[in-house]
Amino acid sequence: MVLIGLVVLGVVAFALWPRSQTGTTTASGDSETYRIELTTNPRSGPVTTTLQVTRHDGAPVEISEIVIDPVMPAMGHAMPQVVATKQNDRFQAHGELFTMGGLWEVSLRLADETVTVQIPVTEG
């Protein structure tokens, strides 16, 4: 019964989630140290993902990579991790994050902290 409720909640959130007219989606979240903004094209197949990272204390970001770990809890799907590397003042990764449409949870591992964001994927 709880699983059915979670699935219904996920479908409602997916249906109501705001969509960009440019084909990209941006999601943001915070850990204890970092604020991260993820921008990607929410579709299946290889995509380029850009991550903007700032520290809450204003200090320089001194990490060289971010591990991206996408999971679709409602369907029990998980994708192989993708690594974003530092490109000037942002991080960038290229790879397949999503295999189907639906609500995905994307965990972003920065050193010893993790930020999780939700991405609604509109294409299957």
Q: What is the pLDDT of residues 10-56, one digit of tens each?
A: 444 444 444 444 488 999 999 999 999 999 998 888 999 999 999 99
Q: What are phi and psi of 60, to 5 degrees?
A: -65, 150
Confirm whether 38 is domain-assigned: yes
Q: What is the pLDDT of residues 45-95, one digit of tens each?
A: 899 999 999 999 999 999 999 999 999 999 998 999 999 999 988 999 999
Task: Enter the DSSP assignment of 80.
Answer: -
Confirm whether 6 is domain-assigned: no
Q: Give the CATH number for residue 108.
A: 2.60.40.1930
Confirm whether 9 is domain-assigned: no
pTM, two decimals, is: 0.78
Confirm whether 18 is domain-assigned: no
Confirm whether 29 is domain-assigned: yes
Confirm whether 78 is domain-assigned: yes
Confirm whether 14 is domain-assigned: no
Q: 69-108 in b/e burial notation, b at 16+ Cβ within 10 A?
A: bbebebeeeebeebebebeeeebebebebbbebbbbebeb
Token readout for 25 is 């989606």
Q: Which domain holds residue 114?
A: 23-121
Confirm whether 16 is domain-assigned: no
Contact 96, 109 (CB under 8 A): no
Specify the number of domains making up the chain. 1
